[in-house]
Amino acid sequence: MARTDTTPSRPRPPVGWRRAAARLPILLFRGGLGPLFGKRLLLLHHTGRISGRDRRVVLEVVAYESGGPHGRSWTVASGFGPKADWYRNLRQQPKTVIQFGNRHHAVTAHFLPAEEGAGIMAEYARRHPGTARRLCAFMGLAVDGGEASFREAGRAIPFVRLVAADGDRRS
């Protein structure tokens, strides 16, 4: 049996024109075009842990619940690992705001345990097999397409559930 290496060699954040291209969705959200992304992307506002300045990043929504056990929530993954600035900033200040479509929601970040991440990644791979393979390759995680390999990859990816503040349970 071939060894499936899940020791992530995290990609480096983009620089130059690639950084500008990666930040383009932020401008689209700010211009009121958030609904173009459907339920696939959200704009996360976070506060710089050192600078104290307002920061923004667009993240893919891995899972969305409009009325589950957590109320309204969005689950996102840190493709650049636990050292991504937005992830570290949320660790410092977990209460923040997201924009989903054109609506803003007050949320609190909950950092998920590895085993829960395993289940989330397996479910994501069932819904989006090609994207899941590319995401894992991007993060340096070897997968063979089977559920077990996606579960193993999910244990290495930091997942965050953004739970809407009480009273924000509309669909």
- DSSP β-bridge partners for residue 98: 44, 105
Q: Quote the pTM value.
A: 0.84
* CATH number where 28 lies: 2.30.110.10
In 3-state terms, what secondary structure has residue 132?
helix
pLDDT by residue (tens digit) across 72-120? 999 999 988 899 999 999 999 999 999 999 999 999 999 999 999 999 9
Q: DSSP string of 40-63? A: SEEEEEEE-TTT--EEEEEEE-SE
H or E element in which residue 19 lies: helix 17-30
96 lies in some domain: yes
Q: Strand pairing partners for 163?
A: 73, 108
- Using DSSP's 3-state secondary structure scheme, residue 121 falls into helix
Look at residue 91 in the predicted model and tell me its pLDDT: 97
User: Residue 134 and residue 141: Cα distance in Å, rounded?
Assistant: 10
Is residue 87 situated within a structural domain? Answer: yes
Query: Which of 84, 42, 35, 82 shows the shortest CA–CA distance to 61?
Result: 42
**Average confidence score pLDDT of the chain:** 87
Domain count for the chain: 1
Q: Is residue 58, in this structure, part of any structural domain at all?
A: yes
Is 61 inside a domain boundary?
yes
With respect to residue 88, please indicate whether it lies within any of the assigned structural domains.
yes
139/28: higher pLDDT: 28
Does 35 map to a domain? Answer: yes
Range of the domain at 52: 17-113+158-164
Is 91 part of a structural domain of the chain?
yes
Among 163, 137, 162, residue whose Cα is nearest residue 149: 137
Q: What is the pLDDT of residue 155?
A: 95
In a domain, 45, yes or no: yes
Instruction: Give residue-wise pLDDT tens across range 36-85.
Output: 999 999 999 999 999 999 999 999 999 999 877 777 999 999 988 899 99
